[in-house]
């Protein structure tokens, strides 16, 4: 099992949305995924309550001493990838998650203030000698100069090869992310043919390539095995979906 931790001291960087998106992308790639939430704000847990499917399992763990214990037990449960969504700021639970991680992602918006705010998180990651990468998140669609400046700032901060410390692709700020979150879905479910879903799948592939051969996925994606929870299916489920390729609404499937 490989453990991926999303951590940064600054709030509002989009850790929870990225954690959800990566979890579903990994599931669709054939992995048995568990999502651990150490953030008392509960964004991932609230998302799960809106979700019309039983998977993935979300485990809120707020005590630092329980993080290591749970990660060890998940290995025996057949989980291949665990993604940990952490709280903003410096907490004991975040430090513990980083300590037992295999790879750390530091989400940051492409502004100098946000990049500077990652310094405390980076110090903890380096103290435990963990591999890491920045994820430029919530990036404006037309911001080539700003992104180039952000890359340079990150390179100076980390003093490493930029190709190794900045994940690709950048995640562009689009409504699909928030619409999916509100619906209890990941962006790859909400708009599977959209640019945001494409970026999230590519980001997972980038992360997986950094994990090496230690992660073994099943031959078949397990997303088809999701069990629908009729009691919490929201009203939007009966609405027609929008095909981004044809720019037309599709007829909603009949529900029994």
Q: Is 48 inside a domain boundary?
A: yes
Measured from the Cβ of residue 120, the count of other Cβ atoms closer than 10 Å reads 15
Distance CA 108, CA 122 (A): 12
Query: In the chain, how many domains are there?
Result: 1
Please indicate, yes or no, if residue 44 is contained in any of the structural domains: yes
| Residue 233 within any structural domain of the chain | no
Residue 110 located in a structural domain = yes
| The dihedral sign for the CA sequence 174, 142, 22, 254 | positive
Identify the pLDDT of residue 38.
94
Instruction: Give rounded-to-5 percent helix, strand, coil for the chain.
Output: 45, 15, 40
221 in a structural domain? no
Q: What's the CATH number where 161 sits?
A: 3.40.50.300
In a domain, 255, yes or no: no
The predicted structure's pLDDT at residue 201: 95
Angle of helix 92-99 versus helix 64-76 axis, rounded to 10: 30
Q: Can you list the pairs that 206-210 forms with residues at least 24 positions away whose Cβ atoms lie under 8 Å? A: 206/167, 206/168, 206/169, 207/4, 207/22, 207/103, 207/105, 207/133, 207/167, 208/26, 208/29, 210/103, 210/131, 210/133
Is 82 contained in some domain? yes
Quick check: is 122 in a domain? yes
Spatial distance between the Cα atoms of 202 and 42, rounded to a whole number of angstroms? 27
The ranges of the chain with pLDDT < 50 are 144-145, 158-160, 213-256
The residue with tokens 């009203």 is 235
What is the β-pairing status of strands 81-85 and 2-6? parallel
Number of H helices, E strands in the chain: 11, 8
Domain, as residue range, for 121: 2-213+238-249
């Amino acid at each position: 099992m490989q453990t991926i931790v999303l951590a940064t001291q600054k709030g509002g960087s989009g850790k929870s949305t990225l954690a959800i998106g990566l979890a579903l992308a990994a599931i669709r790639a054939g992995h048995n995924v568990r999502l651990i939430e150490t953030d008392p704000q509960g964004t991932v847990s609230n998302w799960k309550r809106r979700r019309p499917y039983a998977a993935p399992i979300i485990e809120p763990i707020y005590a630092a001493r329980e993080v290591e214990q749970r990660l060890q037990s998940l290995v025996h449960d057949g989980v291949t990838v665990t993604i940990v969504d952490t709280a903003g700021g410096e907490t004991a639970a975040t430090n513990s998650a980083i300590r037992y991680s295999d790879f750390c992602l530091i989400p940051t918006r492409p502004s100098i203030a946000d990049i500077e705010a990652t310094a405390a998180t980076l110090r903890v990651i380096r103290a435990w000698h963990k591999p890491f990468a920045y994820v430029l998140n919530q990036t404006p669609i037309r911001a080539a100069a700003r992104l180039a400046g952000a890359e340079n700032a990150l390179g100076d901060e980390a003093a490493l090869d930029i190709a190794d410390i900045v994940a690709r692709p950048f995640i562009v700020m689009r409504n699909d992310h928030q619409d999916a979150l509100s619906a209890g879905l990941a962006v790859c479910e909400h708009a599977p043919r959209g640019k945001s879903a494409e970026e999230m799948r590519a980001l997972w592939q980038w992360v997986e390539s950094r994990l090496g051969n230690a992660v073994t996925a099943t031959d078949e994606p397990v997303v088809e095995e999701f069990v629908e929870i009729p009691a919490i299916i929201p009203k939007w489920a009966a609405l027609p979906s929008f095909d981004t390729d044809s720019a037309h609404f599709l007829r909603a499937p009949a529900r029994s």
